[in-house]
Amino acid sequence: MTTAVKVRGLTKRYGDVQAVGGIDLDIRAGEVFAILGPNGAGKSTSVEIMEGYRTRDAGEVSVLGTDPNRPTREWRSRIGIVLQTADDVAEATVRETVRHFAGYYPNAKDPDEVIEQVGLTDKAGKRIRQLSGGQRRRVDVALGVIGAPELLFLDEPTTGFDPEARRQFWGLIEGLAHNGTTIVLTTHYLDEAEALADRVAVVARGRIVAEGEPKTLGGRATAKARVSWSDEGERRTLETDTPTRTVLELTHRFDGEVPELTVTRPSLEDVYLQLIETPA
């Protein structure tokens, strides 16, 4: 296993605010890694340190084998960054902008292909200032991937996207991941993390409070199942380790169809909310 990003004991303080209070991370080459956490948890600060856009107070950081505090041009060209709010209102068109950025990279992708990938082909001739917020975010994504990066950072990439654009974007990320790009994303959408991430870290108050695969995070996979049904108009709920047996018993009791039966386990959102509420 090759490690794309290694972080040890990372700290960062802004005046009185301890934004990052000792974070350790290992992000493997080729994986999609999501960083989750409430507003102000320290996600952007951590990611910007990894990108080389912020200095750290203490700790070790290695990104593709380089300390981001000592970036080289060659290292920069191997990394793609999609910023949270790129609001540079441009008079240039989408195609001109993407082509222009392609010129900065030694192994740039074909601009028209990238425009197609982010679903902007029919807007390629439009000026950036004429685009909607979500369409501009897609331009940001195009600029993040145009250099064919080995490692792509995405800070809240789908904020402002409509549901269709989000699904399309997920497809784009899956395609990049399939081709071996390592992806580090922050998001507030737990369904996004669940759909895309191989592993997630939950950050709260500047620390990692949980880390793992979305399906097993916080003991999700082994948590009790909740069996719920309707009994003469009243909702009944049971938490159990053996939901199949419970359903079988109910099937006998109701002589077949159990009214309004549901069987659920904690969602990623349930586990996440519990994790971030746990006092420090």
Ligand X SMILES: Nc1ncnc2c1ncn2[C@@H]1O[C@H](COP(=O)(O)OP(=O)(O)OP(=O)(O)O)[C@@H](O)[C@H]1O
Q: Provide the binding-site residues for ligand X, judged by CB under 6 A.
A: 14, 17, 19, 37, 39-45
- The answer to whether residues 37 and 25 touch, using CB atoms and an 8 Å cutoff, is no
**Rounded least distance, CB 189 to ligand X, Å:** 12
Q: Which tokens go with 279? A: 């006092």
**Rounded least distance, CB 134 to ligand X, Å:** 18
**Which lies closer to ligand X via its Cβ, residue 41 or residue 102?**
41
**Rounded least distance, CB 267 to ligand X, Å:** 20
**Rounded least distance, CB 153 to ligand X, Å:** 12
**Rounded least distance, CB 151 to ligand X, Å:** 19
**Which lies closer to ligand X via its Cβ, residue 19 or residue 268?**
19
Q: Which tokens go with 72? A: 């080289």
**Rounded least distance, CB 20 to ligand X, Å:** 7
**Which lies closer to ligand X via its Cβ, residue 161 or residue 229?**
161
**Which lies closer to ligand X via its Cβ, residue 30 or residue 42?**
42
**Which lies closer to ligand X via its Cβ, residue 41 or residue 146?**
41
**Rounded least distance, CB 15 to ligand X, Å:** 6
CA dist 91 and 163 (Å) reads 28
CA dist 237 and 12 (Å) reads 46
**Which lies closer to ligand X via its Cβ, residue 44 or residue 135?**
44
Cα torsion 118, 103, 64, 156 to 10°: value is -30
CA dist 190 and 94 (Å) reads 30
Residue-level length of the chain: 280
CA dist 26 and 3 (Å) reads 7
**Which lies closer to ligand X via its Cβ, residue 17 or residue 238?**
17
Closest C-alpha among 117, 126, 211 to residue 173 = 117
Helix (H, G, I), strand (E, B) or coil at 140: helix
**Rounded least distance, CB 203 to ligand X, Å:** 7
Closest C-alpha among 221, 223, 229 to residue 246 = 229
Helix (H, G, I), strand (E, B) or coil at 206: coil
CA dist 152 and 143 (Å) reads 11
CA dist 243 and 225 (Å) reads 6
- The answer to whether residues 158 and 165 touch, using CB atoms and an 8 Å cutoff, is yes
**Which lies closer to ligand X via its Cβ, residue 205 or residue 265?**
205
End-to-end Cα separation, the chain, in angstroms: 33
